[in-house]
Amino acid sequence: MGNRIDGKVCVVTGAGSGMGRASAIEMAWQGGRIVVSDVNAKSGEETAAAIVAQGYETIFIHCDVRNSEAIKALMDKTAAHFDGIDVLHNNAAVHETDLTPHTAIDEMPEDIWNMVYEVNLRALWLGIKHATPYLKLSTKDASIINVASTGAHVAFPMSAAYCASKGGVVMLTKAAAVDLAKYNIRSNCYCPGSIDTPMMRKYLEVSEDKAATMKMLTGAHLIPRLGQSAEIAKLACFLASDDSSFINGAVYVIDGGTLAWRGLND
């Protein structure tokens, strides 16, 4: 076991899949006590079982982050079970290609825009709102870790709601840092490039020209491959640990170099 997170109680939303699952597992390995949360009970339970199988402490709590009361219940149940909350990892998100074939900005149905906004931005605020009473009581360098995207900085096709929501996550992160610094609660976010997860694979699957889409996804990486969830989990853990104790309101790019240039590899 690593020990960077040293007994901190960490709530991870969207922990049933992809990067959320990898972060939950890595946080447990680094000494965290983990609440695995997801709207998908089956995949969430699988993540929790994988953590238990490694001999670490966790519980699964079902939560649809579109529902404010469910988010409040997630924080209350976590605090009751583990006697507090030290880290909120706001990771759950959806992409419009998961929801509809009509994702161009002029075609997107209003309910799809609303859903992306609710899951990707409003829920992060509600998570912060309902976790803050517990984070304030933390004696272990409390922090919030939000997941944005390179889509917060540069737009990509068929993703207007997603990119707009992720741009909002960057500013929500900074606003939380400003308002909560007086309680010794840090708030940071990171912006992954193209990472090999079910969300990325679905985006590829529904695209008309898969070769061109794959080139768009990985060709922009100076490191010419997809990122892996385990690589992102290391950054999530760094931001959750005391090693990042002087980092607040920061926006980390973890994208294989995408935002560093305007080129496209072959």
Annotated catalytic residues are 162
Give the separation between CA 126 and CA 122, rounded to whole angstroms.
6
Query: Please, how many CA atoms are within 13 Å of residue 39, restricted to the half-sphere of its CB?
Result: 10
Using only C-alpha atoms, what is the Rg of the chain? 18
C-beta of residue 213 within 8 angstroms of C-beta of residue 146: no
Contact 18, 98 (CB under 8 A): no
Q: Which tokens hold the place of 26?
A: 């890595």
Residue closer to ligand NAD, measured from CB, 57 or 64: 64
Dihedral of the alpha carbons of 54, 56, 60, 66, in degrees to the nearest 10? -100
Q: What minimum distance in Å lies between the beta carbon of 90 and ligand NAD?
A: 8
Which residue's Cβ has the minimum distance to ligand NAD?
Answer: 18
Q: How far is the CB of 232 from ligand NAD (least distance, A)?
A: 8
In the numeric block, which tokens belong to residue 38? 């997801």
- CA-nearest of 96, 43, 92 to 203 is 96
Strand, helix or coil at 116? helix
- Measured in whole angstroms, the distance separating CA 251 from the mean position of its chain's CA atoms is 13
Q: Which is nearer to ligand NAD, 20 or 32 (CB)?
A: 20
Nearer to ligand NAD, 41 or 104 (CB): 41
Please identify, using beta-carbon distances, which residue of 19 and 85 lies nearer to ligand NAD.
19
Enumerate helices (H) and strands (E) in the chain, giving the number of each: 9, 7
> 238: closest CA among 141, 150, 173, 167?
141
Structure tokens at 225: 């491959």
Locate 198 and state its tokens.
Answer: 């079910």
Where on the chain is the footprint of ligand NAD (CB under 6 A)? 13-14, 16-20, 38-40, 43, 63-66, 91-94, 119, 147, 149, 192, 194-195, 197-200
Question: Residue 197 CB, nearest distance to ligand NAD (Å)?
Answer: 3
Q: Smaller CB distance to ligand NAD: residue 110 or 182?
A: 110
Query: What is the CB-side half-sphere exposure of residue 233 using CA atoms within 13 A?
Result: 23
Least CB distance to ligand NAD at residue 78 (A): 15
Query: Residue 190 Cβ, how far from ligand NAD at the closest point, in Å?
Result: 9
Taking the complex as a whole, the smallest distance from the CB of residue 155 to ligand NAD amounts, in Å, to 13
Backbone angles phi, psi at 152, to 5 degrees: -80, -15
